[in-house]
Each structure stands twice: as C-alpha cells, then as structure tokens.
Structure 1
Amino acid sequence: MAGPGHAAPHLPVREEWLAQRRERILDPGLPIVDAHHHLWDRPGARYLFDELLRDAGSGHDVRATVYVQARSMYRAEGAEELRSLGETEFANGVAARSASGLYGPIRACAGIVGMVDLMLGDAVTPLLERHIRAAGDRFRGVRNQTAWHASPEINSNPLPPRPGLLSEPAFRRGAARLVEHGLSLDLWAYHTQLDEVLALARALPELTLVLDHCGGPLGAGPYQARREEVFAEWSSRMRLLAGCPNVVVKLGGLGIAVNGFGFERQELPPSSEQLAATWHPYLDTCVEAFGPDRCMFESNFPVDKGSYGYAVLWNAFKRFGASVSAEERTALFSGTAIRTYRLPAVAAN
C-alpha cells in the first residue's frame, strides 16, 4: 500500500470495463512463461493465487510464472532488513501450492525475485543466504526499488526510492554479491535513468541485469505530448545497453500510468490489434537491439490490469511475434525466461 503522503500509483482494476473486450485466443498451443507478475492483498486491491489462476487460465498456454518483488507480505515484526523474508516465504508458499498439481498444469512462482536491500553492501551476503533457504531452488534474483524521477507526476512506486541509488558504491558492492550466489538483478528504471543502468552493467559485467518494462519510456507528466522525443532518447540508450551482453530485457509493463498511453481512458478496453500497433516500435527496437535470446515477454499483472485484460495482452504479444521465426518466437515467449531464471523443465514441456 502507499506510505504516508503518497497516493497509490497503480491504475485501478475495473473488471466490468475489462469484460467488455473478449477475443479469440491466438495460437493457443504456444507455451508461455509469464516472466514478471506480482501478488498482493492491499486495501481495495487483492490479487493472489486465485486471481492469477483466473487470468493465466483465460485461454493461453501459460506453463510457468516468475514472481517479482512488490513489498508484499512483509513480516510485521523483527529487524527491518529481515522483514522482506516474509515476501519470499509467501511466494514460495504459492509456488508449493501450484507445484502440487491440484490447480492445473501451471507452475506459478516457479522463479522468485525477492527484495534484499543491496545498500547493505558486502553485509548483504547472509541475507541472500536466508532468502535462498526460504525459497529453496526457486529463489532466482533480487529487485530493489530504483525507479525515480524528480517530477512528482512521475511515480510508479507506493514508496518512492532515493535518487541515484544505482550509482551508490554500497549498492554496487551489494549487487556484486549476487554473482557468487548465481542470482540476477531485476531493475525497474525509467528511460531517464538508463545511463545509470548502463554504468552499472559495465561496472559489473559478470552480473545478469534484467531490465524491466522495456526500459521505462515515459509519457506522463513533463513527457506528455513528447512521444517522438522520448522515443529517440529511449531507443538510443537501449541500443547502448544492448552492447552489454549481461543485460536482458522484459517486453511489457507498458500499461503503467507513467507510460502515458492512456488505454484506461478509453470507453472500451484496447484490442490486441491496438496494443500491438501502439507498442510495435518499442518491442521491435528491443528485439532488434538485444535479439530474441535476450528478450522475454511479461504481463506485469496486476499492475497492467488497469489498462487491459490478460488474454488480450498475450494476443497482442502473439501478433507482434508472428513476424519472427519459430525459434525466435520460442525464445521470446518462454526460452529466454527459462534460461535467465533457470526454471524447471516443466515450463518447456
């Protein structure tokens, strides 16, 4: 939930509005790994295993999912740096329920990206080990809150982070500790922060950096009506990042309010044709620069659910993916996520 003085930054989910758009599922046999979603139970916003099952079971062949840090189910007591263990334990519990097979073939939370404060520097090691013990072989990486902008109109975190976190020496020392544990670092950064991401990638070439949400091209606040200017700036920085072989990109997360596409303001929810056409320049730039083996599709639900439905979203991705080879399509929809997060073989069967 939002902290004191901070409004919730996520668009509200309106099930009745979403229900107005129904589409035939395209290529229903294509295996999918949803590389990025959240679960939470907050005032007015509940999205837990049952809600995920309903979305993932809406027609597409979702084999597995990756849970990503969302300040969910933190422990209410204990040392501050240990409270995020509650989130890892919670996600692992959902994964255990899913792995029972009682809820169908999907393996939810097969990979878990948790929260460990990397500003602890070298002292982060024992905390990483506790998260690994809490989630066993499902703990795959860490994400801190890093998406920051000076404008109060640019906010996608309930608790805005401190500026310049990616450049802090302590943060880099903490991030370096991930390598020895075989963990990756997920990063949510706006396009205005991509120079910081680039510097981090170059400073830690052995660390796999997973850039969330297409690198955060902004379209709200001071970036309204500046779409072409932002695209030019964003695309040039993404191409520079592509020169770092340790960077992988998640394709999605473009339904967030700060992206400014405004799907939520339409009378009817967007169709997959509209989404594919709107996003094509961004998705195409990422795939062309990084290659399909370093790109993976994500839902970013329930955050993006304020803008479109789950089935429509994956139809849009499939419309975009229709122009690539079968091998490239497999990489985008499942292969890159399986390899990056070292997911179990069930995801590929």
Structure 2
Amino acid sequence: MQVVDPHVHFWNLDTHHYPWLANPGTSFVGDARELKHNYLPDDLLREAGDIDVLKVVHVEANHDPEDPVEETRWLEAIADNAANAGEARALPDAIVAACDLSAPNASAVLEAHAAFARTRGIRQILNVHENKLYDYVGRHYMRETTWRENFALLEKHGLSFDLQLYPAQMEEAAALARAHPGIQLVINHAGMFVDRNSVAGYRAWREGLRLLAACPNVAVKISGLAMFDHAWSVESLRPYVLETIDAFGADRAMFASNFPVDRLFGGYSKLWHAYASIVSGASESEHAALFRGNAERIYRI
C-alpha cells in the first residue's frame, strides 16, 4: 500500500531539547516515558513494514520553545543530507513548524521558518478544556488580538495552519477560517473528539466538523484516534473515520499516522490497513485522494 503520511514527528534527544520528553509522564494520550528515545526517518521506514511511505510531512514535535526555528533547521538538514547521499527517501518532504503567534517575536519567527525550502505551514496547539486532564494551553489564543494579528501574517508567507483543537472551539475556528479565506487550515486528529461519553459531546463534534467543513479553506487529517481509544479496532475507529469523511468529503480529508505517538497503541502497518478496511468501498480516485493526493496537494509536495 502506497501512502503519503501528513502527520509524523521526528526527534533526536541526543542533540535537541524537547521539554515534554526531558521528564516524561503519563496522560490521556498515553505513557510518554515509552517515547523517550530518538525517532528518526530510518526508524519510521524500518517499522513501516508493507506500507510504502512515499512522502512525509513533519509536524512540530514540541521542540524547545526558546528556539523553534532550530527544529526546522535540523529537519531541513536531515532531508538535504539524505538527498545528497542519493537515498530513495529524503524525509521529511514538508515541514509544519512551530510558532507562538502570541509572542512579540512571532513575525520574525515566521519569516525565519519561511526561508526554508520545505516549510509549508505552522502549528500552534490550541486545545483548551475545562477538565485539566485534557487542557493543553490554559488560554483561548483565538480570542487574543496579538495572536489574531500574527495569524494573518501566514498568508503573506504562503503558510498553512495546522489546527489542533477540541470540538468546543470549532465555532470560533470556523469564524477564523471565514475571516482569512486565503489561509489553508488543516484540522488535526479529526477534531480530537474528547467528550465522547455524552450525546452533547457527540453533537458538538459532529456539528463542529460541519461548521468547519462549510469553509472551503479547511481540510482535515484523520489521525490520532488512538489517543482516545487505546484498545482500538477497525470497528471502534469506523464511525469516527466515516463521520469525518462524510463532513469534508473525500477531496478534503486525508489519513495520517501521528507516529510515533500512536505507535503506543498499535503498529504502523496495522493502522494503515485499518484505514483501508474502513474505506474499502471507496472508488479508486477517492482512495488515491485520501491516502496520497490530498496530502500532496494541500502541503504542496
């Protein structure tokens, strides 16, 4: 099976600082202590098994916030070195870099990231939740004037924005997307449906997806589902996959692995074959779009 994987993380703990891996703990996502080891392109390709990984998009891995551009510099060097060595895969093919859009130096950081050939977008995690177990950032960035002003600069640099949030934040995100039709937004992890034990929670996720899908400049990655379903199976993933595709259509949805994080709960090949099983009834063109084409188009690779 050939895939383009638009959500992968690499890190080198020997040479770079990742605060969350310096003293890892456990959370709803899993046991980060099991991730405290280097994870590089060769590691991904080695465990891919029968999955032919054609291209990869690297999404910022919570690298040292004091120097977010260093992560991009390092990734660019990895890919350049592989290409110069004539390797079949010079990964990553594209980079979604980190930037705190609320920071005074956000404009300079964006400009620095944009100078690298493989930079395609920015991610800043926005997840806010009243339950501290699920709360990532503790503030509503999308409501802050400085953040919104710097968000608008993405269009100047031709950068997309990877949108990691919860369903309760989707209405605000849809308004942001409508206000900036020239910026491509990509929802991470199918909208991170966290409040799945209530009718209201399901409704918030389902209706939120459709609010965002009504914006033509928004796409979605179907990934990270194992973070909320540690004992997942094809059948347990099926409703979330199909609901997301139903909202966005096969032309604005893409499958992704979220490796090595999702590797805590299953192998790489197993995950991609689960996706394939769920959409086995898709047409050849829909299958190509979901597994390769949409990621290539949206991330320009």
What TM-score, normalized to structure 2? Answer: 0.86
1:1-349 matches, within 5 Å, as 28=1, 31-40=2-11, 41=13, 42-43=21-22, 44=33, 45-46=36-37, 47-56=39-48, 58-72=49-63, 74=64, 80=66, 83-100=67-84, 102-103=86-87, 105-120=88-103, 124-133=106-115, 135=116, 137-155=117-135, 160-219=136-195, 225-226=197-198, 228-256=199-227, 259=228, 261-263=229-231, 274=233, 276-343=234-301
Q: 2:149 and 2:61 mapped to 1: Cα distance?
A: 23
Q: 1:203 and 1:119 mapped to 2: Cα distance?
A: 18
The answer to whether the 8 A contact 2:9-2:258 is kept is yes
How far residue 69 of structure 1 moved from its aligned partner, in angstroms, is 1.0
Q: CA RMSD in A?
A: 2.0
The answer to whether the 8 A contact 1:149-1:163 is kept is no
How far residue 244 of structure 1 moved from its aligned partner, in angstroms, is 0.4
The answer to whether the 8 A contact 2:94-2:120 is kept is yes
How far residue 303 of structure 1 moved from its aligned partner, in angstroms, is 1.1
3-state SS, counterpart of residue 301 of structure 1: coil
What TM-score, normalized to structure 1? Answer: 0.75
How far residue 239 of structure 1 moved from its aligned partner, in angstroms, is 1.0
Deviations 1:24-54, CA, capped at 9 Å, x for gaps: xxxx3xx210010111234551222332222
Deviations 1:160-185, CA, capped at 9 Å, x for gaps: 32321122121111111111211100
Deviations 1:302-349, CA, capped at 9 Å, x for gaps: 111111111100001111221111111111111111111100xxxxxx
How far residue 106 of structure 1 moved from its aligned partner, in angstroms, is 3.0
The answer to whether the 8 A contact 1:212-1:249 is kept is yes
3-state SS, counterpart of residue 150 of structure 1: coil
Aligned positions, number = 280
How far residue 248 of structure 1 moved from its aligned partner, in angstroms, is 0.6
Q: Which runs of 5+ in 1 are unaligned?
A: 1-27, 264-269, 344-349
Q: 2:220 and 2:247 mapped to 1: Cα distance?
A: 10
Q: 2:245 and 2:268 mapped to 1: Cα distance?
A: 22
Q: Match of 2:29?
A: none
3-state SS, counterpart of residue 96 of structure 2: strand
Q: Which runs of 5+ in 2 are unaligned?
A: 14-20, 23-32
How far residue 100 of structure 1 moved from its aligned partner, in angstroms, is 4.0
Q: 2:210 and 2:85 mapped to 1: Cα distance?
A: 42
3-state SS, counterpart of residue 276 of structure 2: helix
Aligned identity (percent) is 36
How far residue 231 of structure 1 moved from its aligned partner, in angstroms, is 2.1
How far residue 230 of structure 1 moved from its aligned partner, in angstroms, is 2.3
The answer to whether the 8 A contact 1:65-1:107 is kept is no
3-state SS, counterpart of residue 149 of structure 2: helix
Structure 1 segments of 4+ aligned residues over 6 angstroms from their partners: none
Deviations 1:276-299, CA, capped at 9 Å, x for gaps: 321222111221221111111110
The answer to whether the 8 A contact 2:171-2:211 is kept is no
Q: 1:340 and 1:112 mapped to 2: Cα distance?
A: 12
3-state SS, counterpart of residue 35 of structure 1: strand
Q: 1:171 and 1:255 mapped to 2: Cα distance?
A: 30
The 1:35/1:101 distance shift into structure 2, 3 A limit, reads: farther
